[in-house]
Amino acid sequence: MYQINFNEPCRIYFMGIGGISMSGLAEILMKEGFTVTGSDMKESDLTKQLEAEGAVISYHQTASNIHADEIDVVVYTAAIHEDHPELAEVIRLGIPRLTRAELLGQIMRNYKTAIAISGTHGKTTTTSMVTEVMMAANEDPTVTVGGMLDCIHGNFHLGESDCFITEACEYTNSFLSFYPTVEAVLNIEEDHLDFFKDIHDIRRSFRLFMEKLPKGGVLVINEEIENYEELTAGLQCRVVTFGLEGSGADYTAAHLAYDDNACASFTLMHQNGDTQKPVVDIKMNVPGVHNVKNALACAAVALEQGIKPKYIASALERFGNAHRRFEFKGKIGEVTIVDDYAHHPQEIDATLDAAKKMKHRKLWCVFQSHTYTRTKALLDDFAKSLSAADAVVLAPIYAARETDTLGVSSQDIADRIEKLGTEVHNLESFDAIETFLLTNCEAGDVVITMGAGDIYRVGEKLLGM
């Protein structure tokens, strides 16, 4: 593997530089003196920002962009395959290359404390929470996160301390290229089945990820993960657990209550020998029990790093979520529009559970499934989870990196939801969805646009954003 010398900045070309993670890495390297060029399919706010800081970006991904005498190393994402015209030319010319994960791993090795937040879902939110806490405690970490976070004014922050924070994705085993000293494992569920064989294959990858922790490292893990002891047995690091009240975990939430916006308050408890002791009272500014669990993971990570409880409490009360994570978009008349990134049944369960705790007349879920592979593998689970809404509106499947439909469509989800007795409407376009909602929503309704694609545009169009 090509090794970057951070003391001798070189010329790096990013393929897909406009991606939320790639753009953050590009900015980190630019601030360290590296010369950054790259390409993407289209211009965006992220690419404009990079260009304003000196990056040279092409919006046509062709082999003619690649010149051996102008590039020292190429960075690319898992979504780019060897038949991609740029990557094929890189291979032909013999230019060194790194995956995004390999580059991130090399950056992590430059920091004394490297915190990696993993799990099938909740990574971005929890990474954002940890960042908010560390910033409140004046730790000034370097951060790369898969969403836009207000406290760092974007998706990355180049700090002055020896602490690095990132989310760690299991897809294509990316996180196995990382070098963390602290890990949080939020949950382990079936997902990315275009890469993993099954849940056992996924659990094996998480075990390998845990094994990367050094002897003095810390693993913070959700006590609810099935047979988590099997995953943690024999690890050389210290293992710390979190869970809801009565779980027997090291860190728990007692006296849990919710306000009218479904935001929780609780007392953070720590198991100290044979007794539980209160640490601090926490009031959340984001909804749902899933965010209570995210906050517990965040608090455990922070406390294990010596952060004072008062900073944890103040930061979590201030934390308003990363963009596209139960994000309040606005109101049209008396109809509330919310957007959420949920694209897996477990995430949908959590989001709709939070939404149902809000005051509302009727809860509408406008869902865009993400990838044909995930849709086909989890059809019944999607239907069951979405049926928790009062009514479901389905958009066409977002293909992302896939070209084969596998013979599956949103109608397959609709048919299953209908059998479960929930109102469902499968519409052919965003325009049709917008017209339908304008016609059918009434005062007091809550509309949640949901999915990892571009379904958020529906809410923004309704609000005239």
Q: Do the beta carbons of residue 175 and residue 196 sit within 8 Å?
A: no
Q: Which residue(s) pair with 149 in the sheet? A: 154
The three-class DSSP label of residue 145 is: strand
Catalytic residue at 123? Answer: yes
Exposure pattern of 364-387 as b/e (b: 16+ CB <10 Å)?
bbbbbbbbbbbbbbbbebbbbbbb
Catalytic residue at 125? Answer: no
Alpha carbons 42 and 19: distance in angstroms, whole number: 11
Indicate the residue type of 94.
G
Q: Beta 423-426 vs 391-394: how paired, if at all?
A: parallel
Burial class (CB in 10 A: 0-12, 13-18, 19+), 442: exposed
Q: Do the beta carbons of residue 262 and residue 273 sit within 8 Å?
A: no
Q: Could you tell me which residues come within 8 angstroms of residue 235 by beta carbon, excluding any fewer than 6 positions away?
A: 210, 211, 213, 219
Exposure pattern of 286-301 as b/e (b: 16+ CB <10 Å)?
bbbbbbbbbbbbbbbb
Q: Exactly one of 86, 102, 139, 167 is catalytic; which is it?
A: 167
Backbone angles phi, psi at 216, to 5 degrees: -90, 10
Instruction: Please state the separation of Cα 247 from the chain's center in Å.
Output: 26
Q: Exactly one of 37, 77, 113, 124 is catalytic; which is it?
A: 124
Q: Exactly one of 77, 89, 120, 123 is catalytic; which is it?
A: 123
Helix (H) or strand (E) holding 28: helix 20-31
DSSP character for 275? E
The structure tokens 């099935």 sit at 226
DSSP string covering 55-95: -EEESS--GGG--TTT-SEEEE-TT--TTSHHHHHHHHHT-
Q: What angle do CA 17, 23, 25 make, to 5 degrees?
A: 110
Alpha carbons 71 and 40: distance in angstroms, whole number: 17
Maximum Cα–Cα distance for the chain, whole Å? Answer: 67
**Could you tell me where the DSSP H helices lie in 324-429?**
345-356, 372-377, 379-386, 410-419
Catalytic residue at 232? Answer: no
Burial class (CB in 10 A: 0-12, 13-18, 19+), 272: exposed
Radius of gyration of the chain (CA): 22
Which residues are designated catalytic? Answer: 123-124, 167
